[in-house]
Amino acid sequence: MRNSLWNALATNATLAALALTLSCSCLCRQSPVVGTASFRIPGQDASGKGEVWRFAVSGDSRNCGDVVMPAIAAGAKKDGAQFYWHLGDLRAIYDFDDDMRQESKMAGKELTILDYENTAWDDFYKNQVAPFQNIPIPFYLGIGNHETMPPRDRCQFVKRFADLLDRPEFEEGKKTKASPSEGNSKMASSKGKPSGASEKKSAQPQDSEVCGPVESKTYYHWIRAGVDFIYLDNATSEQFDDNQWKWFQAVIKDAEANKDIHTVVVGMHKALPWSVSCDHSMNESAQGIAGGVKVYRALLDLQKKEKKVYVLASHSHYFMMDIFNTGHWRKNGGILPGWIVGTAGAQRYVLPAGADLAKSRANDYGYLLGRVFSDGTIDFEFTELKSADVPSNVRDHYGRRFVSETCFAENRLTVPPPEKDYCKETP
């Protein structure tokens, strides 16, 4: 009898311990499944002090970006960021974004695929760009692979977002005078409650005769206080093409010769080849590998000439630092400081098998805060957002349960990606 009782108690204790372990693995803040990289919250004193100015950056705002991006805007304002830089993938395009479908549902309307395709980019302006412009914080826009998915293409992107791509501070050929569409012209007055997703806007141009060549480029750079910020377009597999490569070479040659430039920060959508996030990067194509390796080596050379170099990307929907500290680059030239921050609302990914959990965070939304010091050094810190950081008018508009459950608790994959053949190096 006594043995039976002890066995029962032992069994119950084992089950309780197992339940606690499983619960903690799912819920504990520092679960190794999601990584344990350090983070801050908006407005929190950054580690170390003495920086001269700050900026914020992240990418991939499809799916729940209309919920998360206003929280990023509020956080960037609280942190005193001088600008926000979006690294591409604005809307899903290949399928409905969850937030746009929810907005129509809350309005009692059906969002058809035609309505979605015709309003997706206007929706991005209205619900993701406007919160920054209403503060105001300058908004710098990059192109991602989802901006090139049919029925959209690179040319349509350039024309639709001409006012963001033709900023007066941009160097080299930003001359386009294309007037903004109706969606742009109404953007500045969109304070307060977001308007309904099914509200009709002008359709995007669909044929090549309407959308002809324009002078604006999807790659650009600007200089601020001794820092040269460069955006490279690697949204499609043929990039970096000859024109972009020649332009990039000229930009970094000028940066090398300019004694007033201490730092170069290069942003792009996909990470350069042979990073920790190899499975979802420029390794996806042979052209991407070849072009990306050329850019990487050029930046290594610039770094050796006493310029500070930092490389930022998104595309993979998690936060990760030190992404080029891999066997490939340790053996083939050296390591560039690199970060991935695809955390602006897209469905979150499981970390790849090779991730250093102490340098990574998955299942989080947020942005990278860059703190620039007088000597050109930049410290980057991940700033995590919770559902409570979403402005109350946005939570009310989409429904608090949708925000807390669909976007923050769910909206994530649970299966790690398989190892890709293109990440296996041959001897």
pLDDT at 9: 43
List, in sequence order, every residue forming a beta bridge with 319; answer none if it has no partner. 341, 361
Instruction: Please say if the pLDDT value at position 211 is more than 80.
Output: no
Question: Token pair of 248, please?
Answer: 């990039």
User: Residue 75 in contact with residue 42, Cβ under 8 Å?
Assistant: yes
Asked if pLDDT for residue 171 goes beyond 90, the answer is: no
Q: Has residue 101 got a pLDDT over 70? A: yes
**CA dist list (Å): 348 to 65, 199, 304, 344, 419:** 12, 29, 36, 10, 18
pLDDT at 145 over 90: yes
Distances (CA, A) of 54 to 78, 137, 209: 11, 12, 43
What single DSSP character describes residue 361? E
The DSSP secondary-structure symbol of 278 reads G
Q: pLDDT at residue 417 above 50?
A: yes
pLDDT score, position 48: 64
Asked if residues 234 and 244 have their Cβ atoms less than 8 Å apart, the reply is: no
Of 275, 267, 337, which Cα lies nearest the Cα of 300?
337
Taking the CA atoms of 388, 392, 396 and 397 in sequence, report the sign of the dihedral they define. Answer: negative
**Of 302 and 427, the one with more pLDDT:** 302
Whether the pLDDT of residue 183 is over 60: the answer is: no
Positive/negative CA dihedral, 306, 240, 96, 127: positive
DSSP 419: P
pLDDT higher than threshold 90 for residue 394: yes
- Run of H or E residues at 245: helix 242-257
CA 159 remoteness from chain centre: 22
pLDDT score for 421: 85
Q: What is the pLDDT of residues 45-56, one digit of tens each?
A: 866 678 999 999
Question: Residue 354 — very low, low, confident or very high, per pLDDT cuts 50/70/90?
Answer: confident
Using pLDDT thresholds of 50, 70 and 90, give the confidence band for residue 174.
Answer: very low
Confidence of residue 212 (pLDDT cuts 50, 70, 90): low
**Given this model, what pLDDT does residue 426 score?**
62
Q: What is the torsional sign of CA 316, 166, 308, 233? A: positive
Whole-model pTM? Answer: 0.84
| pLDDT (tens digit per residue) in 360-380 | 999 999 999 999 999 999 999
Does residue 391 register a pLDDT over 90? yes
Lowest-confidence pick of 128-137, 209-218, 302-311, 367-376: 209-218
Q: What is the pLDDT of residue 46?
A: 66
Report how far residue 233's alpha carbon sits from residue 142's, in angstroms, rounded to the nearest whole number: 8
pLDDT in tens, 307-340: 999 999 999 999 999 999 999 999 999 999 999 9
Mean pLDDT computed over every residue of the chain: 84
